[in-house]
Chains A and B, each alone.
Chain A
């Protein structure tokens, strides 16, 4: 049912280059067209598309390929954001902070993943929901660790960082996520993940180390999400617990992936792009309507086409081929 044979989204080299080219366009377009006041709005849109592509693509590694639905991935986003914010306050150089964000996120993923990944399906999902919310509450209340408490951290200057870099960094993070997702998809590791998704017991009986593979996917996904969190914090110089550790971000990662096509390579890219456009054009005039529509769209998709927009596309392709 999930990720059944489809003509698009299998993750061949063509799709990798296509996705990377798209990231390239989003990187260059604002710089080229940004001088023209008519196209100024492109800059933020390109940034959000890149950021959301990173989030959905990383979530898809554990949720889509591995079938382990995390509803608490904002925990790792928040770790990325807070690693940057706290250590930059201490005067550390921004570029040395990025790998540290990934390291902390990986450690957290291992710490919470080892117990929680023993649970299956819905139980894992609701446990991660608890993990995300726990992190949010801790960040709001433990001012000893998460400096600033509920009001968050605002950074005036960051050593070794020029704000103009942030767009390039975000594009870089998106490219890293897409390459990582591709490498997982075409590797034996990816095949093992998909075997676990389809039938955990069967995979186990064929000699797949279920726990180790799930944990590896969880940790990789967490590290990538933390890079996105770090990139956004470097751009805005500000982060606060209810956003960085908030349920909203965890939900977005799931939503975007599902809309585009769960477990497919290009699905998260399509879902993230469409969501951002929805978000940017509806948000101003109808602040809540877009999430209402998005939720409804998701319900319709879950009922009629669990493979998302990519599934609909492939179905249309199959019909037109049959007709022609």
Chain B
């Protein structure tokens, strides 16, 4: 038993780092616009295919494609917000939920048409695909992925707390009316936020290729986990979200060992339902939905 514990801990932490990044894009979009971005899963999936295309055609390592995905998917997200999502900005929130859900459907079936439904795996395509021994053997790609995820969340934290644009996003999240009185254009901020959230989702998708195999339906189970992490961590707090990501990662790592492996996702979802119903303000957050 003692020999398993460090492995489960390390595995949980590495997984948790990835989860935190994966949830961060959905978190900022939710914070600023109060929209649950169901297309998030679609952008994670597209990020994974982005890195597949770069590996196959340009021999670019999945680790580096993460960096290339950021500007590309920022523009994609920005354009989608400007031309589609923006039109329902004033409609009831359930309408934008449905719109983004339809967008996910479109993205998924676009991927089926372009890449077929075959499961793809490029975990071994990376130059980092080897096992290192830090007391316990761990695939280096997992460590690289986790480091990049932590770096991504750290940069997001710095961006939101130090830069003018980041502060404007936080101001819009806190109070839309007052921030527009202060000269912040909420619709520009919303488009920027949607672009940033999309870019973060795609970056998480690129990193996920170091960890998982994927197909066009990839990301569906991550969607509920991302929202679980947001609900657990509360809004407006990157640290809360990082903690929540870590908790979910550890929980799944241990549950996968002590429970039946197939039930791990179900446990996360049940936890999600319970948290949402019992304590909708999150464990660390103050904001009520």
A141 interface neighbour in B36, B87, B105, B266, Cβ under 8 Å = B266
Most buried by A among B101, B220, B262: B101
Complex contacts, B110 vs chain A, CB 8 Å: 292
**CB–CB A1/B92 < 8 A:** yes
Asked if A105 is at the interface of the complex by the 8 Å CB criterion, the answer is no
**CB–CB A302/B88 < 8 A:** yes
Of residues 75 through 131 on chain B, the ones whose CB sits less than 8 Å from some CB of chain A are 84, 87-88, 91-95, 97-99, 101-106, 108-110, 112-113
**CB–CB B91/A254 < 8 A:** no
A123 interface neighbour in B91, B221, B265, B280, Cβ under 8 Å = B280
* A114: nearest chain-B partner, CB-CB: B277
Known: A127-B276, A127-B277, A303-B88. A254 touches B98 (CB 8 A): yes
Binary contact readout B177-211 vs A (1 if CB under 8 angstroms, 0 otherwise):
00000000000000000000000000000000000
Asked if B158 is at the interface of the complex by the 8 Å CB criterion, the answer is no
What distance in Å separates the Cβ of B43 from its nearest Cβ neighbour in chain A? Answer: 15
Binary contact readout A109-121 vs B (1 if CB under 8 angstroms, 0 otherwise):
0001001101101
Asked if A107 is at the interface of the complex by the 8 Å CB criterion, the answer is no
Most buried by A among B106, B263, B270: B106
**CB–CB B273/A131 < 8 A:** yes
B273 interface neighbour in A116, A122, A295, Cβ under 8 Å = A116
Complex contacts, A298 vs chain B, CB 8 Å: 98, 102, 105
Complex contacts, A53 vs chain B, CB 8 Å: none
**CB–CB A303/B99 < 8 A:** yes
**CB–CB B94/A292 < 8 A:** no
**CB–CB B97/A125 < 8 A:** yes
**CB–CB B106/A122 < 8 A:** no
**CB–CB A295/B106 < 8 A:** yes
Of residues 70 through 94 on chain A, the ones whose CB sits less than 8 Å from some CB of chain B are 71
**CB–CB A141/B94 < 8 A:** no
What distance in Å separates the Cβ of B12 from its nearest Cβ neighbour in chain A? Answer: 20
Interface residues on A, range: 35 or more
Most buried by B among A1, A133, A296: A133
Interface residues on B, range: 35 or more
Q: How many angstroms from the CA of A239 to the CA of B139 in the assembled complex?
A: 39
Q: How many angstroms from the CA of A316 to the CA of B113 in the assembled complex?
A: 35
**CB–CB A119/B98 < 8 A:** no
Asked if A130 is at the interface of the complex by the 8 Å CB criterion, the answer is yes
**CB–CB A295/B270 < 8 A:** no
Complex contacts, A138 vs chain B, CB 8 Å: 263, 266
A137 interface neighbour in B99, B269, B273, B276, Cβ under 8 Å = B269
Asked if A30 is at the interface of the complex by the 8 Å CB criterion, the answer is no
B276 interface neighbour in A67, A71, A119, Cβ under 8 Å = A119
**CB–CB B106/A137 < 8 A:** no
Complex contacts, A255 vs chain B, CB 8 Å: 105
**CB–CB A118/B277 < 8 A:** yes
Complex contacts, A118 vs chain B, CB 8 Å: 277
Most buried by A among B104, B110, B112, B266: B266
What distance in Å separates the Cβ of B117 from its nearest Cβ neighbour in chain A? Answer: 8
Asked if B19 is at the interface of the complex by the 8 Å CB criterion, the answer is no
Asked if A69 is at the interface of the complex by the 8 Å CB criterion, the answer is yes
* A130: nearest chain-B partner, CB-CB: B269
**CB–CB B113/A289 < 8 A:** yes
Asked if B50 is at the interface of the complex by the 8 Å CB criterion, the answer is no
**CB–CB B265/A137 < 8 A:** yes
Complex contacts, B224 vs chain A, CB 8 Å: 126, 129-130, 133
Complex contacts, A116 vs chain B, CB 8 Å: 273, 277
What distance in Å separates the Cβ of A189 from its nearest Cβ neighbour in chain B? Answer: 22
Binary contact readout A280-301 vs B (1 if CB under 8 angstroms, 0 otherwise):
0000000111011011101100
Known: A130-B272, A134-B273. A122 touches B36 (CB 8 A): yes
Complex contacts, A203 vs chain B, CB 8 Å: none
Complex contacts, A303 vs chain B, CB 8 Å: 84, 87-88, 99
Complex contacts, A16 vs chain B, CB 8 Å: none
**CB–CB A127/B87 < 8 A:** no
Asked if B260 is at the interface of the complex by the 8 Å CB criterion, the answer is yes
**CB–CB B280/A126 < 8 A:** no
A-B contact pairs, 11 of them (CB 8 A): A121-B94, A130-B269, A131-B273, A137-B269, A142-B263, A251-B105, A254-B98, A287-B112, A292-B105, A292-B113, A302-B88
Given contacts A288-B113, A299-B103, A302-B88, 12 further A-B contacts (CB under 8 A): A112-B273, A116-B273, A126-B97, A130-B272, A131-B269, A131-B273, A133-B269, A134-B269, A137-B263, A137-B265, A287-B112, A291-B108
List the 5 closest A-B pairs by CB distance, nearest first: A295-B105, A141-B262, A295-B106, A137-B266, A288-B112
